[in-house]
Amino acid sequence: MTPPMGAAPTEPPLTNWRALVESFVIPTGAVLVALLIFGGFCGLAGASPFSVYHSIYRAAFGSWYAFQNTLIRAAPIMLCALCTALPMRLGMVMIGNEGALVIGGLGTVLVGAYWVSAPHYVALTAMALAGMVAGGLWIMAVGAMKIYRGVNEVISSLLMNYIAIAILNHLVNGPMHDPSSLNKPSSYPVPEANALGNIPGSRVHFGLVYGIAACLITWGLIEHTSFGFKVRMIGGNLRAARMAGLAVGKISLLVCFLAGAAAGLAGMAEVAAVQGCANESLAAGYGYAGILVAFVGRQHGLGVLLVSILLGGILASGGMLQRQNHLSDATVLVFQGIVFLVILYSESLYGRFKIFQTRAA
């Protein structure tokens, strides 16, 4: 049956179980291959691969205690990854995540540290909004430069990271400087009463809830609404989208704003739940980790969610590898590199295995 004119192009039907199995087997196989290669590396470094595997499992996923460590690390990465994943669907390679996080953190402090008399939930809402608006405008500026002036967004968003960190350093050394923070220049703190707390029954802060919610919203918005369809259409063929009369500029700016807002929210959680103020520790590399996660997660809301947890687990195992297996501190980076490279390579394998192909009826 041919679809009527104007309807969405047919997606592969969900009943295609072979494709489903394929999309499960290939990533799983990739992780197993990565583990084998990494085991070989550890063997060369003088540690038993089996003991290393057990350490990774035990440190990242082995118990609720360990899994919380994984989730804590995954939370900011999830939000930062959306900052690359969303514009990617428009065909833009946005790598300004770190900057948007920093600016979001600064926006949060502007509200949280100066409006100290606000009631708890009002303050938290205001801080979250401030963080999102600040981060959103930051990335929207990159988007505007691209759309209206043709400035390459890869370069400009990267440079905006440095500008954001410079602004942070200027503010915490100057106008926002808390004189009691002598040797680690910081902004005035967000009062403890307005801090973002932990999820009840855990030591994971609410940033994780924000992250999961943002990933689910992204998934719903991009894959299941007409707005999302427009976004995918722009990303698929810009000229066709223009010809079809889509408001390419407006849609693109809005997506950039949402992307920046996600990273800004990560900054809000870092300030309100972790650091308590803005300082150099905000730029801890979550933004750059997010770029990687967005690509490995195939710019898909759910993919980002899963890959962030995988990366959180890898990072959580770093300590155990040092303490238990006496491997160097860089080992966890080697592991991360191997896993992500193999997963990215495995994407070229889709459709290559006969067994996963639907046979002609």
Partner 1 sequence: MKIFNLIKVAATVAVMTALAAGTATAADKVSMGFIYVGPKDDYGYNQAHSEGCAGVQKLDWVSAVEEASVPETTAVEEAMRDMIEQNGATVLFPTSFGYFNPHILKLAKDYPKVQFFHCGGMWHEGLPVNVGSYFGYIDEAEYVAGIVAAETSKSKKLGFIAAKPIPQVLRNINSYTLGARSVVPTATVQVIFTGDWSLPVKEAESANSLIDQGVDVLTCHVDSPKVIVTTAEKRGIMCTGYHANQSVLAPKGYLTGAEWNWSKVYMDYADWVHSGKSLMDGTIPHLIRGGLKEGFCKVSPYGPLVSDQAKADADAAKAKFMAGTMVIYKGPISDNTGKVVIPDGTELKQTDIELEKMNYLVAGVLGSTGS
- For binding to partner 1 (CB under 8 A), which residues are involved? 48, 50-51, 53-54, 57-59, 65, 69, 72-73, 169-170, 173-174, 182-185, 270, 274-276, 279-281, 284-285, 315-316, 318-320, 322-324, 328-330
The CA-based diameter of the chain, rounded to the nearest angstrom, is 75
Q: Please report how close the Cβ of residue 75 comes to partner 1 at its closest, in angstroms.
A: 9
Element housing 295 (H / E): helix 286-296
- Three-state SS string over 328-354 comes to CCCHHHHHHHHHHHHHHHHHHHCCCCH
Q: Please report how close the Cβ of residue 111 comes to partner 1 at its closest, in angstroms.
A: 19
Nearest residue (CB) to partner 1, 156 versus 275: 275
- Three-state SS string over 48-86 comes to CHHHHHHHHHHHHCCCHHHHHHHHHHHHHHHHHHHHHHH
Nearest residue (CB) to partner 1, 223 versus 280: 280
Nearest residue (CB) to partner 1, 60 versus 141: 60
Give the dihedral of Cα atoms 172, 175, 176, 180; nearest 10 deg: 80
Q: Please report how close the Cβ of residue 274 comes to partner 1 at its closest, in angstroms.
A: 6
Q: Please report how close the Cβ of residue 118 comes to partner 1 at its closest, in angstroms.
A: 21
Q: Which two tokens stand for residue 334?
A: 């080697």
CA-to-CA distance for 61 and 35, rounded, in angstroms?
Answer: 15
Q: Please report how close the Cβ of residue 35 comes to partner 1 at its closest, in angstroms.
A: 9
Nearest residue (CB) to partner 1, 169 versus 298: 169
Nearest residue (CB) to partner 1, 209 versus 284: 284
Q: Please report how close the Cβ of residue 281 comes to partner 1 at its closest, in angstroms.
A: 4
Could you give the 3-state DSSP secondary structure of residue 198?
A: strand
The answer to whether 309 and 70 have CB atoms below 8 angstroms apart is yes
Q: Which two tokens stand for residue 67?
A: 């899994």
The answer to whether 88 and 97 have CB atoms below 8 angstroms apart is no
Nearest residue (CB) to partner 1, 51 versus 237: 51
Nearest residue (CB) to partner 1, 22 versus 270: 270
Q: Please report how close the Cβ of residue 26 comes to partner 1 at its closest, in angstroms.
A: 18
**CA triple 66-68-69, angle to 5 deg:** 65
